[in-house]
Amino acid sequence: MAVIKATINKTAKVRARTVEVGAGVKLTDLVDVDSAALDNGAMLIYDLAAQKFLLTNRIENPDLRIIGGIY
């Protein structure tokens, strides 16, 4: 049977840091987000034909399935 030895270094400090990528960017600032229909309660959906995300408060898409889980 092999003998395994290990040493734990108690002097190592764990440091957490925050990484920011650029200044604050809004979702509506992105070039592939069409926010023309932005309104209270709007949802974000992807339009494959337009190759953009759309903000809308009405979704009419036969491919959409909302699965809310079991309660």
Q: Which of 44, 46, 50 is nearest to 63 (CA)?
A: 46
7-19: pLDDT as tens digits: 776 776 777 777 7
Residue 31 has pLDDT above 90, yes or no: yes
Number of C-beta neighbours around residue 19 at 10 A: 4
Q: Is residue 26 part of a domain?
A: yes
Residue 40 lies in a domain: yes
The model's pTM: 0.54
pLDDT at 33 over 90: yes
Question: CB–CB of 43/27 below 8 Å?
Answer: no
Residue 27 lies in a domain: yes
The count of domains in the chain is 1
For residue 55, is it within any domain?
Answer: no
Give me the percent of the chain exceeding a pLDDT of 90. Answer: 28
- Structure tokens that stand for 64 in this block: 């959409």
Domain limits at 42? Answer: 22-49
Q: What is the separation of C-alpha 62 from the centre of its chain, rounded to a whole number of angstroms? A: 24
